[in-house]
Chain A
Amino acid sequence: MIEPTISFVGIWSVILLSGVFLYVLLDGFDLGVGILHGFAPSTADGDVMMKSIAPVWDGNETWLVLGGVALLAAFPLAFAIIIPAVYFPILVMLLALAFRGVAFEFRFQDPAGRAFWDHAFHYGSLAATFAQGLVLGAFVQGFQVEGRQFAGGAFDFLTPFSAFVGAALVCGYGLLGAGWLILKTEGTLQNWARGLGQYCLIGVVFGLIVVSLWSPAIDASIATRWFSMPNVLFLWPIPLVTGALVFWEWRALRSGAEASPFVGALLLFLLAYLSLAISLWPMVVPFHFTLWEAASSPRTQAFLLVGTLFMLPVILMYSGWSYWVFRGKVRGRSNHEAAYED
């Protein structure tokens, strides 16, 4: 066999970035619904909220697994350094996801323990989101590395910055969740989601501003990336467009728009995500290894790429189909739930 001579790192970077973004978006809205669920105005509304995500949550969470194993397969050095560095946030995230995940079935099937599983769903969603924010914050801060291994302490991840990012992500997922609920519900529940969405948006705006000012102070390379010439000429529209989007999202939340709040939240996430990528590119272990340095062997990347390029469109197709089957507004007892309670 001959060694592949072309590099697949570029395309794998795009696949990984897109996969992680899809995860953030998809599990983001259903974790967000979980965060808002704790404040549900009534039990019946809480049921509707759960129902709106029950058929899709495990598909959404599958992107997390794919993100993890794709990182392992395509950029193993990053996997082997980053995951140990965030040992405890990963632990909290996994346990929180476990409790909120089983809550979907358990709260329906175990009436006596229902209050407990409602709490598990709410606090599980909240803790998983905060832990993901801690991971993100720790990632932006960078890691202490010796050779090919993480060499820092187990609590290096915990700083005011990472805690702040965690809180901001809770608001962000809350906004996505509110957008989803506005899309999938109606009447008082929808109005309630509009109200909470506005609080979440305020949190998001505050978070975006603070993180934008804070991150250039973390590493000189981030400041150089954004404020040096000629970069600044290309990058100045990003904060401007973000500002315009915030305004649009605010209007959408306060108007009767059905889909716009979700779309607006989605675009805000996209811009924040792009800005993050711009700040750190091409680092995958900030500020030690680039995507190229952490990549697996070309033969590994080539082998996986063949199946991935074939399967990703198929996956998007049948995931999309499953969303299509459950399209439309979720209602109290008149939707599929009514069928279970004869």
Chain B
Amino acid sequence: MRSLDPLILSRIQFAWVIAWHILLPAFTVGVASYIAVLEGLHAMTGRDVYLRVSNFWIRIFAVTFGMGVVTGVVMPFQFGTNWSRLSDATANVIGPLLAYEGLLAFFLEASFLGVLLFGRKLVPPWMHLVAAVMVAAGTLFSSFWILATNSWMQTPAGYTIVDGRFYPTDWMEVIFTPSFPYRLVHTVLAFYITSALVVMGVGSYTVRCGRFLEEGRVMMTTALSLLTVLVPLQLVAGDQHGLNTLKHQPAKIAAIEARWETVAPVPLTLFALPEQDAETNRYALDVPYLGSLILTHSLDGSIKGLKDFPANERAPVAIVFFAFRIMVAAGILILALVVVGSVLRGLGRMFTSHWYLLACQLAIPLGFLAVLAGWTTTEVGRQPWTVYGLLRTADSVTPSLSGGHVLVSLVLYAVAYVVIYPTGVLILLRLVRNGPGGMLTGPDVPVQAGRPAVPIKELPRSPYPGGQP
């Protein structure tokens, strides 16, 4: 078992558990806010359709949030099981940030979630609205603190190093590191856009099926209105985040663009096969000047090439290069969907263009794809460091681990998530197929939340062998 490297296996394990986990906040952060808005709209207008749409998304939220909790509990323990030297070195600084996420976000979410899911009949309507707002606020607080932690590892500030360990000197600098505002805006916008695309796609499916037309239209119009604002904003935020990265993590930008030489003006490489060892690109398709224009907002600006950084301080170029391009491609498709949608909406043909409804449905995974690709870009782009420029990933791993042990845990995490996620997706698909039906409201029909109208199948030990009495 000597060939098994606990470092690389631990990295694969972390990538595996974080990648699956991040899909859930990418969705729940936006949907929590959406539910709060729908509840608010219902309180203001009194229109029942908002309540029906809200109840529909609450049921979907319940499934995804539960999965988010259990895959999220896994995360902090990874710092201990596989990255104990990182924990020992950095806990003085990032420990409190993680703890504040728990104190300010997780309890808020968990306590009010129960009321949001099951409490509509148990508390007054305004209290239910408060619960929805609190859950939404909790998801945003959580994003704030976890991204503050991540940003500190990307662009550390407000610390001093004594005996190889980090000590805080200024908490404001620790929390508001140079990359934090950009990362926070870019990520939260990405989460909102991801959720809006899901709502849009589910709405278009509902409209296409011809059932629950009113609900489907509400979903599509609310989602498209939001996307029309957020997607252009995201282009600006992404550009600014890129400029910020160029300033603070130039080696990451060089890897993103697969730039080996420092030249001016910088071309933009649309496609290439970067070769790490040969320090060159094969099959490169370059557009002159465009690199300078995008990266420096001038025609002759220059950026540092990878060869200006020691070979052992470069990220794996190909992964970062392609991940970034996948993110941008997804972004362009999303933008196209929004532009076309706005035009069709202006023409009054959005709900009747079957090809567009189908396109919206097919676009559901785009946000998730962009989030995963973006996360890969920023995290792999930080390599070979855990704390950028200061603590190497190789010096962060738990020393007592053997490759065989990590392989066992990696396989078990793999099996568990391969069981849990497809089941979750199947359940979500069924919820979507059932549609927002069976949730009519009125004086005689109790308002419901939480569980769907599924028949409970009898199991052998039931006292009623013939079925539900």
Contacts and interface: CB of A to CB of B under 8 A. Distances in A.
Interface in A264-317: 296-297, 299-300, 303-304, 307-308, 311-312, 315
A114 B461 CA distance: 13
A149 interface: yes
A308 B99 CA distance: 9
B271 to A, nearest CB: 39
Chain A binding surface SS class: helix
A315 B85 CA distance: 32
Interface string A314-342: 01001101100110000000001101111
Interface string A85-112: 1011011001101110110111011111
B405 A76 contact: no
A59 interface: yes
Contacts of A66: 99, 102-103, 106-107
Interface string B194-207: 00000000000000
Contact of B98 (A56, A72, A104, A297): A72
B106 A101 contact: no
A83 B84 contact: yes
Contact of A83 (B77, B92, B101): B77
A101 B69 CA distance: 8
B430 interface: yes
Interface residues on B, range: 35 or more
B95 A73 contact: yes
B92 A296 contact: yes
A239 interface: no
B46 interface: no
B95 A69 contact: yes
Interface in A37-66: 42-44, 47, 54-56, 58-59, 61-62, 64-66
Contacts of B62: 105
Contacts, number: 276
Given A68-B76, A72-B80, A337-B451, A62 B110 contact: yes
A101 to B, nearest CB: 4
Interface of B: 62-63, 65-67, 69-74, 76-77, 79-81, 84-85, 87-88, 91-93, 95-96, 98-104, 106-108, 110-115, 117-119, 121-123, 167-171, 398-402, 405, 408-409, 412-413, 416, 420, 423-424, 426-427, 430-431, 438, 445-459, 461-463
Given A109-B431, A341-B453, A98 B85 contact: no
B51 to A, nearest CB: 14
Nearest to B91: A76
B88 A148 contact: yes
B118 A55 contact: yes
B430 A109 contact: yes
Contact of B111 (A113, A148, A322): A322
Nearest to B63: A105
Nearest to B93: A300
Contacts of A44: 462-463
The 7 tightest CB contacts between A and B, nearest first, are A83-B80, A73-B95, A76-B91, A340-B451, A55-B114, A101-B70, A59-B110
B108 A318 contact: yes
Interface of A: 1, 42-44, 47, 54-56, 58-59, 61-62, 64-66, 68-70, 72-74, 76-77, 79-85, 87-88, 90-91, 94-95, 97-99, 101-102, 104-106, 108-115, 148-152, 154, 296-297, 299-300, 303-304, 307-308, 311-312, 315, 318-319, 321-322, 325-326, 336-337, 339-342
Nearest to A115: B459
Contacts of A149: 84-85, 88, 398-400
A325 B114 contact: yes
Contacts of A104: 66
9 contacts: A58-B114, A59-B113, A73-B91, A83-B87, A90-B80, A109-B454, A150-B84, A150-B399, A342-B438
Contact of B81 (A58, A84, A101): A84
Contacts of B426: 110
A11 to B, nearest CB: 14
A98 to B, nearest CB: 4
A280 to B, nearest CB: 19
